[in-house]
Structure 1
Amino acid sequence: MARAIPRRAPEPSMDPVALFTLQLLNALSLSALLFFIALGLTLIFGIMRVINFAHGAIYMLGAYVGVTTQTLTGSFALSLVLAPLAAALLGLAFERSALTRLYAREHSAFLLVTFGLALALTEAIRLAWGPDPRQAELPAALAGIVFVLDEPFPVYRLVLIGAGAAAALALWLLLHRTRLGLLMRAASQNAAMTAALGNDVAAVRAAVFALACGLAALGGALAAPLFTAYIGLGTSVIIDAFVIVMIGGMGSFVGTAVGSLLVGFAQTFGNFYFPELALGATYALMIAVLLLRPGGLFGREE
């Protein structure tokens, strides 16, 4: 995935305040896309204690399914439904058929199995869609611009900011205002006790994994009109996702949101002002945080 959302080159005479504001909005829209994949990753770890190396491949699957759905039906909205649904069903089947057999084993078993899924899914996408990159077209309603401080800014990037904020609010409400969220938090703290109280921990784990995969695929479908879907996209985004959760703290919802913002801002402003150092700045930020707080900003050392 590109390190920053493509932008129109600024005019030399652009007002500095307007320029900064546009870059701020670019950073927020990139952070929103990063949030979708990192949120799923941290949900799986926080509740199931599983590090899912296949999460980037799920994101890539969402991008390809989104592009194909829009190409066949002409409906961008439908692509935002079918892509996460397909990924959620795949995640559910994988969790029930493979992960459920490993919960009593060492964590290294999860690493190997999810890494194997990433390889298999990447090859399946190559066979199904071929090696050529694909890109979706924005619907006319979202392809326009608005003026921010008299400067044009794409409407779709504002939509991405809204989508990220809506996802954060929805997940917070799910975790803290619903019975399912209560069971998720209980299972993350003590799965054996939660099961002893008569709750179906297996169903909770399956729901968490399916939800996380659906969120990653939704992020891929949302990114498809901006970034080219290509073989290897999953490898690129999973690196960003791991950087985010390491900065914010593995398993922390708030940490994922903050980490997404920090990485999004570092990549956007770094690419604009210091393009040669942008990638290094992201990793320097991660190292600095881990030196000060080895468990991440909102995580716990284990």
Structure 2
Amino acid sequence: MSMSLIAAQLLNGLQLGILLFLMSAGLTLVMGIMNFANLAHGSLYMIGAYIAAALHAMTGSFVVSAILAVAGTLVVGYLLERLLLSRLYGVEDLYQVLATFGLILVFNQTVKIIWGQAPVFMSTPEFLSGTVTLFGLSYPSYRFAIIVAGLLVGLGLYLAINRTRVGMWIRAGASDREMIAALGVNIRLVNTLVFAIGAALAGFAGVMAGPILSIQPGMGEPILVLVLVVIVTGGIGSIRGAFYGALVVGIVDTIGRAFLPAIMRALLDPEIARGAGPAVASILIYVFMATVLALKPNGLFPAKYR
């Protein structure tokens, strides 16, 4: 087990964490501010990936397809919130869960009708097809670009939430919706804005994941499970919690899957380790989440404005 291998897996975990942050940043605001359980958030990630792949095949430009895919996902999120989900505010969580679960089925069938059931592949942009050298370690340029892009988005979200008037409305809406509405702020517009931004971030995550994953119907559900772990672990409604929670979950999941089976083979009987190693590695993040909740029920970094 060389240091270069450990460093490479740490970077892979950081890259996964960044993708999870892009997904969880929008959903944690939706859940924290609007008190809305949106299970269809993973479908927006899938839609962003499909739109980007289709546009990339048409234009040949990754940058153009990425921008248009993010814009398209933002529009989908806007229309979804305005036409359907806004009618479910204030109802029991069960109805929100059932409605958004139904949307998952609708979106999965829609992409099957448009693009078919076979996986769709999106090539890595040529200008990011090489490698970068970090402290003597060669690492794929595209994966490193995901890390950089996610960090820039995180910085932008931090500044927007904490340094702008719109961010003040969002924080106030998370704390006391009735009071901010009484002060003349259009809380429905704030809800729509938050949901649309969350959809755009999910779409951006799908765009960035497209060249390194196969794009297929249902690809949003597995990552949604990880995103929910991130939100619960970091603290619902907290962008800071989503950021640090995503990095920790990404690294724990990647390191666990990469090294835990080998460690168990060295310590246990090979037959037992062969079956138990991958199984234990797959549940490691849930053990981590349970431990965090046992010690800090509100998450590692609960929203200060709640």
| TM-score, normalisation: structure 1 | 0.91
Moved more, 171-180 or 275-284: 275-284
Aligned equivalent of 1:293: 296
Q: CA RMSD in A?
A: 1.6
Q: Identify the match of residue 82 of structure 1 among 56, 68, 75.
A: 68
Structure 1: which 5+ residue stretches go unaligned? 1-11
Report matched runs for 1:148-163 at 5 Å.
148-163=134-149
In 1, the alpha carbon distance for the partners of 2:87 and 2:193 equals 16
In 2, the alpha carbon distance for the partners of 1:243 and 1:104 equals 24
Q: Alignment length, in residue pairs?
A: 287
1:152 Cα offset (Å):
2.1
Aligned equivalent of 1:45: 31
CA deviations over 1:19-61 (Å, ceiling 9, x no partner): 3222222211111111111111101112111111000111111
Report matched runs for 1:231-270 at 5 Å.
231-270=217-256
Structure 2 counterpart SS, 1:274: helix
Aligned equivalent of 1:61: 47
- Does the 8 A contact of 1:22 with 1:148 survive in 2? no
1:224 Cα offset (Å):
0.3
State the AA in 2 paired with 1:134.
V
State the AA in 2 paired with 1:281.
L
Aligned equivalent of 1:216: 202
Question: Share of identical aligned residues, percent?
Answer: 38
1:199 Cα offset (Å):
1.1
Structure 1 counterpart SS, 2:139: strand
Structure 2: which 5+ residue stretches go unaligned? 262-277
Q: Is structure 2 residue 107 aligned with structure 1 residue 124?
A: no
In 1, the alpha carbon distance for the partners of 2:225 and 2:80 equals 22
Q: Which has the higher helix share?
A: 2
**Structure 1 segments (4+ residues) deviating >4 Å:** none
CA deviations over 1:197-217 (Å, ceiling 9, x no partner): 111111111010000001001
1:232 Cα offset (Å):
1.6
- Does the 8 A contact of 1:18 with 1:148 survive in 2? no
In 2, the alpha carbon distance for the partners of 1:229 and 1:104 equals 35
In 1, the alpha carbon distance for the partners of 2:133 and 2:90 equals 56
Q: Is structure 2 residue 269 aligned with structure 1 residue 282?
A: no
In 1, the alpha carbon distance for the partners of 2:236 and 2:185 equals 25
Aligned equivalent of 1:101: 87
- Does the 8 A contact of 1:27 with 1:264 survive in 2? yes
In 1, the alpha carbon distance for the partners of 2:86 and 2:8 equals 46
